[in-house]
Amino acid sequence: MSSKILITGISGFIGRNVLRQLVQSYDSITAIIRPGTKHERIEEFVDKVDFAEIDLTDIPTLKEYLDENTFEIIVHIGAVRGGRKFSNSDYFDANVNATEQLVINARDNDSKFIFCSSVGVFGAIPLEQPANNSTKRQEDNYYHFTKIRAESIIQKYVLYGLKAAIIRPSITYGLDDYGFPFTLTKLIDKKLLFLPDQDVIIHLANINVITQAFMKLVEIDYQSGVCYNVADSHPVELHKLSEYINNELKAKPYSSKKNIDIKYFKNGERLAKYFKSELWIARFQLISRHWYFDIESSYADLGLKETDTIPSFKIVTDWYKDLNSK
């Protein structure tokens, strides 16, 4: 297809997988990459994509580039992610100011703008379950604050003609994703994961579901300002997922001796808050509280393929076993 596309964030897990799908159907794609990006992170795209080396925190350079270039579709996935040590100004420039510059370019040129936000706009743990578009936003860390602010800017420009759609992925899993699900698998393998002595319902997102959502929005006309929470077809009980993982790794259920009183997780969370450790706050919360989302409209409107975490999580356990066999 001949549509001229700009994409950001291709060295990250979601962006890389979305671009893999885009290059199969589109032949005029430009990717903004951070100066100094390692060649191995982009080498599979070298002959298929044009690159613009711009740091998203460098707003003057980004603005200059956008003033000189136009696109029919902008897919904005790039961001300074949570859990990493960046200054608040870097977070704000990359996640808010850069987003606004891209939005202005899209609005002024009547381009489609597809934005990768996060279910983190509802906070690490949403105030209601399942979280939906009406659920109160929580600025419980600076990363979540910047995503909330970026969404607000997008919706403001929608009122002035921007053709925007927002995707909020849940925590992803898939091949080469070293995030929470991989860590969960590793801890279970090492018998280091302790679980609360009560059910905890979580909602993960297979990377294939997320890429389907992006590709569908690239292809269709959508109602401007629409927001989609994207995750697997159904939430899953953490205990059942842990048993599944251990069965895949060792052909037996995970030990019930690893279940401990929920109060220890609450105490750990309090301690993490005292020391202002966002990483440990999130770790305690993610395995001791419910977090799941209303994804009905994303499946209905975008025709996403029904995907259940069990058995789809097998891609992670097989990959993990392969890594450990080398």
Could you tell me the residue ranges of all domains in the chain?
Answer: 5-174+203-234+294-299
pLDDT of residue 97: 98
Mean pLDDT calculated for residue range 309-315: 98
Given CA atoms 101, 107, 109, 115 in this order, what sign does their dihedral have?
positive
In the chain, what is the greatest distance between 2 CA atoms, to the nearest angstrom?
Answer: 62
Q: 12: which DSSP letter?
A: S
**Taking the model in full, what pTM does it have?**
0.96
Specify the pLDDT at position 284: 94
Topology adopted by domain 5-174+203-234+294-299: Rossmann fold (3.40.50)
User: Is the pLDDT reported for residue 38 higher than 70?
Assistant: yes
Cα dihedral 159, 161, 162, 165, rounded to 10, equals: 70
pLDDT at 1 over 80: no
Give me the sign of the Cα torsion angle 308, 285, 251, 173: positive
Determine the pLDDT at residue 82.
Answer: 60
Give the model's confidence band at 2: pLDDT under 50 very low, under 70 low, under 90 confident, else very high: low
- Express as a percent the part of the chain with pLDDT over 70: 98
- Contact indicator for 77, 113 with CB cutoff of 8 Å: no
Q: Which two tokens stand for residue 162?
A: 């921007």
For 181-198, how does the pLDDT look when each residue is reduced to its tens digit (9 = 90+)? 999 999 999 999 999 999
Task: For residue 96, give the DSSP letter.
Answer: I
Q: What is the mean pLDDT of the chain?
A: 95
Does the pLDDT of residue 257 top 80, yes or no? no
Tell me the per-residue pLDDT of 11-36, one tens digit each, with 9 for 90 and over: 999 999 999 999 999 999 999 999 99
Please give the pLDDT value at position 324: 92
Cis peptide before 253 (omega within 30 of 0): no
Joined together, the tokens standing for residue 167 give 């995707």
197-208 mean pLDDT:
96
Strands 29-33 and 5-8: parallel
Residues, the chain:
326
Q: Write the single-letter amino acid at 175.
A: L
For the segment 122-151, the average pLDDT, to the nearest whole number, is: 96
Q: Which residue has the tokens 């279970």?
A: 188
Task: Give yes or no for residue 307 having a pLDDT over 80.
Answer: yes
pLDDT at 84: 62
Q: Is pLDDT at 83 greater than 70 in this prediction?
A: no
pLDDT at 256: 76
**Is 255's pLDDT higher than 90?**
no
| Ranges 100-104, 237-241, 254-258: which has the least confidence | 254-258
Would you say 175 and 322 are in contact if contact means Cβ atoms under 8 Å apart? no
Please give the C-alpha separations between residue 164 and each of 71, 152, 158, in angstroms, as whole numbers: 14, 12, 7
pLDDT digits (tens, 9 = 90+) for 268-286: 999 999 998 988 999 999 9
Residue 94 has pLDDT above 90, yes or no: yes
- Assess whether the previous peptide bond of 126 is cis (omega < 30° from 0): no
Verify cis geometry, omega within 30 degrees of 0, for the bond prior to 130. yes
Chain Cα centroid distance, residue 45: 21
Residue 81 confidence class, pLDDT cut points 50, 70, 90: confident
- Region 305-318: mean pLDDT is 98
Residue 29 is classified by DSSP as E
- Which residue blocks in the chain are alpha helix, DSSP H? 13-25, 59-68, 88-92, 98-108, 142-158, 180-189, 207-219, 238-250, 262-274, 278-286, 296-302, 309-312, 314-325
Instruction: Check whether 141 has a pLDDT greater than 80.
Output: yes
Q: What are the Cα distances from residue 69, in Å, to 28, 35, 74, 231?
A: 13, 19, 12, 34
The four Cα atoms 13, 14, 15, 16 give a dihedral, to 10 degrees, of: 50
